[in-house]
Amino acid sequence: MIYFDKVTKKYQDGVKVVNDVTLTIEPEEFVSIVGHSGAGKTTLLKMLMAEEVPTEGVVFFESADVHKIKKSRVNKFRRRIGIVFQDFRLLPNRTAYENVSFAMEAAGRGEQAIASDVPHVLRLVDLGEKMWNFPRELSGGEQQRVAIARAIVNQPDVLIADEPTGNLDPDNTRDIIRILQKINELGTTVVLTTHNRNIIESLGRKRVVTMENGEIVRDKNGGYVL
C-alpha cells in the first residue's frame, strides 16, 4: 500500500532529516515508527501526506507517486489518510459531535450520513455519552479520542497517529493504544509514531521500525532498542 523508495529529505542548510529510506507498509498492518526527537519520523509522514517533497526518491501510495498527484486531486488523496496529532487540534467552540461532523461536512458528506456515522464513531472510541460535550468539558484522553473519531469518520484507508499520547498520562495512553488496535482490527492500516517504550512493549509482536538520524536502523516484529 505505502512504499518509500530510497527517499531522502535534505534542507537548504544541507542537513539530511531523512536519508535513503526504503520502507514498505502493507494494507491492514499496524506499524510503529520509533526514535528520539529529530530522528526523522514526522518528516517521513509529511512526505506521505504530500506536505513535504523528497529531495531524492519516490513515495508511493498504492501505485501512485504521491508527489505527482495533480493539485486538484491532493485533497481527495489526503482524505484516504486520517491523521491524529499530539495536540488534539479540536475546535474549542464546537461539541465532540460537531468536531467530528465538521470533517464529514468538509468532505461533502450529506446530513443523513453525518447523522448516522458521527454517533457510530463516537461510540467506537467510547464517547457515546459525551458527544454533546465541548472540549473544555473533556479530559485530555477524551479529547484525543474525539480527534481519533474525527480522523476515521470518513473511513480512510490509513490512520496516522503522530505521537498521539505525548500529552497523556499512562491510563489515558493505554486507552488510546487500545482504541488504535481496535481500529486496526477493523481493517484500517495504522502507522504510529512514538518514543514511548512502554507503548511498544504493550503492542507485543507488532512491527516496529526504528529510526536514528534520518535512517532506518531496525525493522522487526516487537521490541524497541535505542
0.95 surpassed by pTM? no
Cα(86)–Cα(225) distance, rounded to whole angstroms?
Answer: 23
pLDDT at 101: 97
Query: Tell me, what DSSP letter sits at residue 138?
Result: S
114: which 3 cell numbers? 453525518
Residue 13 above 90 pLDDT? no
Of 95 and 36, the structure prediction assigns the larger pLDDT to 95
Among 137, 196, 186, which Cα is nearest to 159's? 186
Among 9, 18, 69, 6, which Cα is nearest to 214's? 18
- Write down the mean pLDDT value for the chain: 94
pLDDT digits (tens, 9 = 90+) for 44-93: 999 999 999 999 999 999 999 999 999 899 988 999 999 999 899 999 99
pLDDT at 223: 60
Question: What one-letter code names the amino acid at 67?
Answer: H
List all residues 6 or more positions away from 104 whose beta carbon is below 8 Å from its beta carbon.
Answer: 113, 114, 117, 118, 153, 154
HSE value, Cβ hemisphere, 13 Å, CA-based, for 182? 15
Contact 96/133 with Cβ under 8 angstroms?
yes
pLDDT at 225: 53
Residue 15 above 90 pLDDT? no
Cα(102)–Cα(15) distance, rounded to whole angstroms?
Answer: 38
Task: Quote the Cα angle for 45-63-113, to 5°.
Answer: 70
pLDDT digits (tens, 9 = 90+) for 104-158: 999 999 999 999 999 999 999 999 999 999 999 999 999 999 999 999 999 999 9
